Amino acid sequence: MKKQLNRSLFKSFVICFIALFTFNLSFAQDKAKKIDQLMSLYNQYGQFNGSILVAEHGKVIFKKGYGQANMEWNIPNQTDTKFRLGSISKQFTAFLIVKLAEEGKIKLDVPITTYLSDYPKATGDKITIHHLLTHTSGIPNYTSVPKFLEEKSKEPYTPQEFIKTFENLPLEFTPGEKFRYSNSGYFLLGYLIEKITQKTYEQYLQETILTPLKMANTGYDHNEIILKKRAAGYEKQGKKLINSSYIDMSIPYAAGSLYSTVEDLYLWDQALYTNKLLSAASMDSLFKPYISFGDESYGYGWFIDELLNSDKSKLKIVEHGGGINGFNTLISRVPADKNLVVLLNNTGGTVLGEMNTAIRAILYNQPYNQAKKSMALELSEVFNTKGLTAGIDSYKKLKADSTYRIKEGEINNAGYQLLQSGKTKEAIEMFKINVETFPKVGNVYDSLGEAYLKDGNTKLAIENYTKSVTLDPSNESGKKVLEEISKK
């Protein structure tokens, strides 16, 4: 009788386990279906061309490629397609620095001149490695220097040579005082790694992270090397796609020169839950909110935010985006639930943050916004091909159409494309749309002021630059333009 009872209990347990497993599998499949429908629509609307991987509770529930890795040869994107990462590279650089600190080879709270004796002492004595890691050094961002793309980005440099191009620039603020994103800081961190280890940044990265984690499809990208399954990069001109402009990969260096796949970045994500490469204390130091700005904070190579769950509890999010000629990327993690979203796109800037928000909502069974058509892409096409009047008329129609959405960044980029192609009047109208839609954002007035200045309308340029710096007192470039205008 007792054996019969035990068998019955065992059977019941097995049946319950199978039922629970089937239920969870069905639930995951339902989420995967929703994610696929969402991303297919973004692809259809010309806003996502790349690869995606989504993991829930540490398990991959969806991965897929959309669109083309190479449009000349109609080669599709797949989950092992290699994409340039841009600033996602920074989390690897930060990891290497923390690894050196754990081994006692560097200290994070000492001046960078302790290890970089050739760096100017006037500023270097005030800047610590911690400041570089957290974008609080005050060193101007070299990619924001005027004419950077035209004059510097296409030539090869050694790390030491390139540091000379920005090391004597005056600091934008007292180190540690505020957050301002700076590729220059992470470039210096790469050089620091080389000085400490006596190895190239690429060699130390390979032996410390990539080889131990078997990330065989990740590495430092080189223009001249033939790399199998590497996606080509494209950029949008309205609705038209063109080959992206060239950048020598010695320029982004430790701030943005890596390539990877969605599958390799899943291996990276999983390793961050272990102490295989770093102690628990060192790993935790990567994800501390050292400096806050707006609703976000920054750790070491990661942006840190919070998600309000349906039960009003807060979940910590650690994530980072990347952008480099022809590529736009994002990795977003919710460590408490081991949830992961990786989005790698090879058609330039797009709304990956919006996609990520919708995917996260799907994972947490919350309502989410479906993809919409980009008004910026539509208007850019009309302004480019049909002119000023047609563009204005098109805007009047589209803003009443609920299938379109306006994104500040997209409209701004479209406006600058028009400005750079000599269509100044059209650019002004594009920027005016941003001012109308986002009247409390300082950047939209800055862009409109620039367009008016180029058009020769000094009065309206002053009016918009003044509005910009009033709304955004940190807009130093806007203040400099106003000073220059007043001198003239």
Quick one: pLDDT at residue 128?
A: 98
pLDDT value of position 16 = 53
Say yes or no to pLDDT of 17 above 60.
no
Q: What is the mean pLDDT of the chain?
A: 93
204-229 pLDDT, tens digit each = 999 999 999 999 999 999 999 999 99
Strand order of the β-sheet with 219-220 is 83-84, 258-260, 219-220
pLDDT given at position 15: 61
Identify the residue whose tokens are 């109609």.
Answer: 74
Tell me: do 103 and 126 sit in the same domain.
Answer: yes
Q: Give me the pLDDT at residue 396, please.
A: 92
Residue 277 pLDDT > 70, yes or no?
Answer: yes
Structure tokens at 277: 């490469």
- 363 pLDDT exceeds 90? yes
Token pair, residue 398, equals 């589209």
Q: Last residue of some domain: 342, 363, 384? A: 363
**HEC-encoded secondary structure of 226-241:** CCCCECCCEEEECCEE
Do 344 and 390 fall within a single domain?
no
Q: Is residue 81 part of a domain?
A: no
For residues 321 and 87, the answer to whether their CB atoms sit within 8 Å is yes
Residue 3 has pLDDT above 70, yes or no: no
Confidence (pLDDT) at 307:
80
Print the domain residue range for 466.
373-487
Report the predicted TM-score, pTM, of the whole model to 2 decimal places.
0.89
What lies within 8 Å, CB to CB, of 94 at 6+ separation is 133, 189, 286, 300, 301, 302
Give the chain's length.
488
Kindly state whether residues 351 and 462 are assigned to the same domain: no
Do 348 and 417 share a structural domain?
Answer: no
Is pLDDT of 444 > 90? yes
Q: What is the pLDDT of residues 91-115, one digit of tens each?
A: 999 999 999 999 999 999 999 999 9
Q: Are 43 and 70 in contact (CB under 8 A)?
A: no
For residues 319 and 381, state if they share a domain.
no
- The pair of structure tokens assigned to 196 is 């400490």
| The pLDDT of residue 10 | 57
DSSP 8-state code for residue 488: -
The verdict on 334 and 453 lying in the same domain is no
399 and 309 assigned to the same domain = no
Catalogue the long-range contacts made by 237-242 (C-beta closer than 8 Å, 24 or more residues apart). 237/380, 237/384, 237/417, 238/377, 238/380, 238/381, 238/383, 238/384, 238/385, 238/414, 238/417, 239/46, 239/377, 239/378, 239/380, 239/381, 240/381, 241/71, 241/347
- Band (pLDDT 50/70/90 cuts) for residue 411 is very high
Q: Is the pLDDT of residue 434 over 70?
A: yes
Report, as an integer, the average pLDDT of 174-185: 96
* Cα 180 off chain centre by: 15
Residue 446 placed within a domain: yes
> Are the C-beta atoms of 88 and 258 separated by less than 8 Å?
yes
**Res 487 pLDDT > 60:** yes
Within a domain: 184: yes
Q: Work out how many domains the chain is built from and give that number.
A: 2
Question: Worst-scoring range by mean pLDDT, 63-77, 200-214, 225-239, 300-314?
Answer: 300-314
Report which of residues 152 and 340 the model is more confident about: 340
In a domain, 284, yes or no: yes
Q: Is residue 18 part of a domain?
A: no
pLDDT in tens, 118-173: 999 999 999 999 999 999 999 999 998 888 888 889 999 999 999 999 999 999 99
Q: Do 244 and 233 meet the contact criterion of CB atoms below 8 Å apart?
A: yes
CA 323/CA 154 separation, integer angstroms:
17
Binned at pLDDT 50, 70 and 90, residue 462 comes out as very high
**Percent residues over pLDDT 90 in the chain:** 84
Same domain, 352 and 423: no
Same domain, 345 and 389: no
Same domain, 180 and 325: yes
- Whether residue 471 contacts residue 445, with contact meaning beta carbons closer than 8 Å, is answered with yes
Identify the three-state secondary structure at position 266.
helix
Check if the beta carbon of residue 379 is closer than 8 Å to that of residue 414: yes
Comparing C-alpha atoms, which of 144, 193, 124, 138 is closest to residue 171?
138
